[in-house]
Amino acid sequence: MLRDRDFKRRFTDVFQSYSFRFDNIFGQDSNTQDIYYKVVRPVTMAAMHGYNGTALVYGQTTSGKTYTMLGTPDKPGILPCTLCDIFTQIKKDKEHEYSISVSYMEIYNEVINDLLVPGSTNLKVKDDANEGVVVAGLRKELLKGFEEAIDLVNYGEEHRCYRETSVHDNSSRSHTIFKVYIENKSKGESMIKKSCLNLVDLAGSERLNEFDMRVEVTGEAGYINKSLFVLTNVINRLAEGKGGYIPYRDSKLTRVLSIALGGNSLTSIICTVSPAIMNFHQTLSTLRFATRAKIVENAPKINQVCFFLMGIVC
């Protein structure tokens, strides 16, 4: 067993030959609210005004992904902070009218399940002429307030796939995407701004051979690895900036998130890492992923449509 002093020295020595630069770095003393306000809140506020947005959490199991996204009742994570912020801003804004709807899905073994409708599984991804890539049959719930939104989050989490592994006794084994659909109209005007905000909690990025899971669920880990491999491949192709074919369709995850990866979206990626020496290779892999993702340039724009009211005079 290494003493704290020895541990810190060895960890520093291992990483001293590597250099990374990111927009924000949070230590172990940071809290989820700090992360939300510095990284995700700008995306949330932009979404309130018609920009698509995405906040994605990536990292290995036990590094704090789901905690960062969901938090606890006393220390709320990115998702509840986002919902609270949205409804707080709506109450303050007297110049606009808003409509807020949400959906909650998981991608498990390359199958899309609706977490708000238990039993609604194997949903199909389709291209829509007006909305782009959509998940057909995914339920949208119109919200009235923050408490109703949190109830839906908790309901969805009850139906998410978790499993005990050798490194975590309650590990999320699926990717989840919580979608917030925002419509914003200035009072007395005919223009509506529409946006979609994706809050994404990915399954663990560790390699299969680092788990001692039972044989019957190794296929599950294989699906996770495949979808994250495709995600990394998409990021790499976009980071190269050479254009050409981008393999979005090689995975349900990347196809659903295609707008967030090099498309019409403001996207923030939060990478969680472990300080343990035993996780050195996974930590290094995560930092390299983050470095490549930082190079990718999206092209966000305000999404607005015009509607007409027709009057009939007798």
Query: How far apart (Å, rounded) are the C-alpha atoms in residues 257 and 103?
Result: 14
Query: How far apart (Å, rounded) are the C-alpha atoms in residues 171 and 47?
Result: 30
Interval 226-255 mean pLDDT: 93
Q: What would you measure as the largest C-alpha separation in the chain, in angstroms?
A: 88
32-37 long-range CB contacts below 8 Å, 24 or more apart? 32/67, 32/68, 32/71, 32/75, 32/76, 32/77, 32/78, 32/81, 33/75, 33/76, 33/81, 35/68, 35/78, 35/270, 36/77, 36/78, 36/81, 36/82, 36/85
pLDDT at 312 over 60: no
Q: How many CB atoms lie within 10 A of CB 28?
A: 6
Question: Residue 172 to residues 151, 231, 280: CA-CA distances in angstroms?
Answer: 20, 18, 22
Interval 139-167 mean pLDDT: 85
Per-residue pLDDT reduced to its tens digit, 84-136: 999 999 999 999 999 999 999 999 989 999 999 999 999 999 998 888 899 99
Of the listed ranges 15-24, 32-41, 232-241, the least confidently predicted one is: 15-24
Spatial neighbors of 277 by CB under 8 A, at least 6 apart, are: 2, 7, 10, 11, 14
pLDDT at 170 over 60: no
Please tell me the predicted confidence (pLDDT) of residue 112. Answer: 96
What is the residue type of 272?
T
Please tell me the predicted confidence (pLDDT) of residue 229. Answer: 92
Per-residue pLDDT reduced to its tens digit, 199-237: 999 988 765 444 444 434 456 667 888 899 999 999 999
pLDDT at 55 over 70: yes
Q: What domains lie within the chain, and their CATH numbers? A: 25-306 (3.40.850.10)
pLDDT at 15 over 80: no
- Residue with more model confidence, 312 or 133: 133
Please tell me the predicted confidence (pLDDT) of residue 167. Answer: 45
Interval 257-277 mean pLDDT: 93
pLDDT band at 4 (very low <50, low <70, confident <90, very high): low
Please tell me the predicted confidence (pLDDT) of residue 313. Answer: 46
